[in-house]
Amino acid sequence: MRVFSIDAFLTDLRALVECESPSWDRAAVARSADLVARVGALRLGAEPERITIDGCAHLRWRFGDGDRQVLLLAHHDTVWPLGTLATRPYELTGGVIRGPGCFDMLAGLVMAIHAVAGLPDRTGVTLLVTGDEEIGSPSSRALIEEEARRSRAALVLEASADGGALKTARKGVSLYEVHVTGRAAHAGLEPEKGVNATLELARLALAVSALGDPATGTTVTPTVIAAGTATNTVPASGSFAVDVRAWSHDEQLRVDRALRALTPVDPAAVIEIRGGVNRPPLEEPASRALLERAAGVAARLGLPPVSGTAVGGASDGNFTAGVGTPTLDGLGAVGAGAHADHEHVLAGRVPDRTVLLRELVAELLEEA
């Protein structure tokens, strides 16, 4: 197997960090995809398939055929707007890598490329790199699920949990908009003739928040709200967004039914519920066998011990698990600060994590 080079890794990571790729900027994502393609082609000796869906750029390297592939899943988009590098440039100081997107998840993407490059035989490996994960994967979801259905395992290169723990369970995510239609009226002359959408939204927000269940870990959170057009007018319409997180599909369905059963206090108001389940949960049984295998690989090679944990955030691993594919997440960088100013990667952990990924893939391929 090819020896892992930390210098080559750092060269590639710096290039990707310095090519800013906010998810909502299609031109920036396209530039990033071009760079990822060049880096991958250099290290893998093969050009990727370029897949553009709804204007968003994705990449796929497929080695061999068959329906029992090992899928490596990464994304090249980030949450940071163009210009962030001016105040948070890439740097490596004291063994700590900093820069927008380094932890979530450009380091994991580069690790995937170098791990596959180090395999003596890549037959049976597919590396899929998407460009819209940070906004819910609207264009790539079907592509991810298609690849997952033909895979024996999905290995997700999202950053690790605290201390390097792998992510063996993730909450499912549901996203809604509660919309109220009322009736406008002059707030000073005849407010009684109006149907106040703001009041309905306030009552509904309290009712929606009460749908959470601390015992099961389900959270139901009203977020962005807007209503009305003028300070002297009874609001005729308005809406608020709802973020739902749940460990189980049953809980997602319970909240969904409850939201759609909401009724207005003022019978003249009309409620419309838009949205639904965005990502199914990644439940622990989907990860158990792969976690045990990863722990065995680490023990055999004398790498740092492997542990697993459940996290509230979602990833594309939710989609792969949702179609029934064994999924192990959090195989990327060790560090902290995803989506935060203190985002960083521990450079000293990059080699052992990359070797763990490479050897885990090799073992899965050998078994196949």
Which residues carry out catalysis?
77, 133
The DSSP string of 169-191 is: EE-EEEEEEEEEE-B--BTTT-G
Contacts of residue 89, defined as CB under 8 A and 6 or more positions apart, other chains included, come to 99
Helix (H) or strand (E) run with residue 66 in it: none
Instruction: Report the Cα 217 to chain-centroid distance in Å.
Output: 20
> Which pair of tokens denotes residue 121?
């035989």
Please count the other Cβ atoms lying within 10 Å of the Cβ belonging to residue 230. 10
Location of structure tokens 């699920």: 145
DSSP code, position 103: I
Answer for the pair 267, 219: CB distance below 8 angstroms, yes or no.
no
Closest alpha carbon to 157 in 317, 7, 287, 295: 317
| C-alpha to C-alpha distances, 142 to 19, 93, 149, 324, nearest whole angstrom | 27, 40, 11, 14
Q: In what order do the strands lie in the sheet with 151-156?
A: 49-53, 56-63, 125-130, 69-75, 151-156, 327-328
Contacts of residue 82, defined as CB under 8 A and 6 or more positions apart, other chains included, come to 20, 22, 25, 28
- What is the phi/psi pair of residue 112, to 5°? -60, -45
